Amino acid sequence: MKFTSSLLRAGIPLGICLLMARSEMLCAAEVPNFALLDDHGKSHELHRAEGRAVVLFFTGIGCPVARKNAGKLLELKRQFQDDVTVWLVDSELDVEPAAVTKEAAELGVESLPVLLDPKQALARSFAVERTAETIVLDTKTWSIVYRGALDDQLTEGAEKPAPSVCYAQQALTALLKGEAIPTAQTPAKGCLLTFAESNHAEEPVDYARDVAPILEQHCVACHRTGDIGPFAFSSYQAAKRKARMIEEVILTQRMPPWHADPHFGQFSNAAQLSAAETLTLLRWIHQGAPQGSDADPLAQPAPEAAEWPLGKPDYIVKLPHPEQIPATGVLDYRHIKVPSPVPGDAWLAAAVVKPGNRQVLHHAILYARFEGSGNDWGAPGVKIAGWAPGRMPGRLPEGTGIFLGHNAELEFELHYTTNGTPQTDDTEIGLYLLHEKPKLVYKTGMAIKLDFTIPPHAPEASSSATFRFAKDSLVYVLTPHMHRRGSCMKFDAVFPDGRTETLLSVPRFDFNWQTSYRLAQPLRVPAGTKIVCSGAFDNSDKNPSNPDATKTVHWGQQSWDEMFIGYVGYAELPPEKEETPAALQKAL
């Protein structure tokens, strides 16, 4: 669709442009990969789909053409069985998952996943304008072999007694036999979709005005010279070269790296693109990534970051010597012990990681062990600090602090990624002290599962664990932790009165991004409340991060082993004072 921009500028109506774009996409060698959640919160990725073909059927609540085709999709799945994956896709504006689930149940298609496209990114990238459009994808080439109506029975406002040509069925039969597709494209017959930016869809996107600010806000912090991103967004040309890759990482939701289901919880550190930002980038890419005006904001020198954003630390924790990182390979975590520089007992207001080499440092954590600190399963002590690309330094929640005992032993956990050349790293961590004991002690609890077994080739081995609050508490942060087979994790609060609330759902866990989700507002929970973490591991060949699908996997410290931990950052509240009879008499 790179020629769409020139067509719009030439005055050709948008509808004609989209029709030509659809034809161009049909001839394309490969469509972009994508990942979407279904109405039950489960993630589905195109490149992990089973079978020889994938059928996408764009639907919409209440659309008569889509509703009458529902049973045919079930029959299509029954006919082709495991050779074909069938997904319905709902790209309507502001649709609620519960409404989608209700309609699927009414139509009897609960067995078919209904993928939600709330930002309308998939519909835009595939140039879909109407519901009931059917797209058949070849999973060997990831190309479109057919698009259009499911068959010739239904159209807007009219209906034949029975179909005479079943286009999608013909295409699938020919594809599985290795024969030529009889009909590659027909007009889609269904309800017109309303797009969020329909009033501005024909306007050319300006790089300097519209695109560069989005890249600066969401991407440049990592994608700049000397940082963890594999390439830098340092100019218009650099952004244009990566236009197709930008489209794919948006559609697969790999970038920006934020993995929380938007239907549960609100978080102060949310990093996802808005629907408007998503569509702006996709429109720019589909218009051919034009520059528009001559200005190039990304080419301007970025202001130099402060060495210590919170000011000079009270103490600095240093590595014994610079770490050596090889040019290539997948590296395991490194654990390095050092003595605490703080001479006595202390309360921490903040601990800030200063990455030594952002090109290769993927994340860093600092733990502390001292008398009385305990030795929780899976962690080498009290967690003091953590950093990952894009994470902004900050102080602990107001009124809280972390206790650091005297003679503490500190332990760095460092995870490096290689970049093609040998590197060194001298990461440091700054400690900021409180001048007095805080009102609340910041703690990290764990919902942890130790005795699990993941069978070979298992695509969804489930696990669960529970953490219980002994006292009334405030919850601040939730952090899922698994290794390379980790697939998903959900945090549910189960209150003493039996009420349940989903606080966080991560339907597509990514080992490469150890994200902590900070609640926008602390959640007060009464004593006895439980945090129940439920999730799954993917030990199949479809998991591209899987070290070895033939292995039976158990708990272990190495990344080729597994863990199942739900970390909870919280503070216990002091008991409320009870009014004694003497105090009440005095008040009177």
> pLDDT tens-digit profile of 315-330?
999 999 999 999 999 8
Residue 587: half-sphere exposure toward Cβ, Cα within 13 Å = 6
d(CA 531, CA 315): 35
pLDDT of residue 29: 67
Q: Show me where the domains of the chain are located.
A: 4-177, 207-299, 315-438, 443-572
> What Cα–Cα distance (Å) separates residue 407 from each residue in 447, 547, 562?
29, 39, 32
Q: 530-537 and 461-468 as β-strands: parallel, antiparallel, unpaired? A: antiparallel
Give residue for tokens 């549910």.
Answer: 492
Report the amino acid identity of residue 184.
A
Two structure tokens written together for 75: 């029959």
Nearest by Cα to 347 from 469, 440, 474: 440
Q: What is the CATH number of domain 315-438?
A: 2.60.120.310
Rg (CA), the chain: 27
Two structure tokens written together for 108: 């009897």
Q: Facing residues of 553 across strands? A: 454
The answer to whether the 315-438 and 443-572 domains have the same CATH topology is yes
Report the amino acid identity of residue 427.
T
DSSP 380-402: SSEEEEEE-TTPPP-PPSTTEEE
Please state which of the four CATH numbers 3.40.30.10, 2.130.10.10, 3.40.50.720, 3.40.50.300 is assigned to the domain occupying 4-177: 3.40.30.10
pLDDT of residue 198: 54
pLDDT in tens, 36-72: 999 999 999 999 999 999 999 999 999 999 999 999 9
Nearest by Cα to 516 from 383, 377, 349, 317: 383
563 near 463, Cβ under 8 Å?
Answer: no
CA 127, 133, 136, 137 dihedral sign is positive
Low-confidence ranges of the chain (pLDDT < 70): 1-29, 197-202, 302-305, 374-379, 389-391, 577-588
Residues near 117 by beta carbon (within 8 Å), at least 6 away in sequence: 36, 89, 90, 91, 123
SS3 string of 452-506?
A: CCECCCCCCEEEEEEEECCCCEEEEEEEEECCCCEEEEEEEEECCCCCEEEEEEE
d(CA 192, CA 460): 37
pLDDT of residue 557: 75
65 near 131, Cβ under 8 Å?
Answer: yes
pLDDT of residue 230: 83
Residues near 585 by beta carbon (within 8 Å), at least 6 away in sequence: none
Q: At what angle do helices 275-286 and 243-251 cross, to 10 degrees?
A: 140
d(CA 372, CA 367): 14
Topology at the third CATH level for domain 443-572: Jelly Rolls (2.60.120)
Give residue for tokens 């970051």.
Answer: 305
pLDDT of residue 566: 95
pLDDT of residue 126: 95
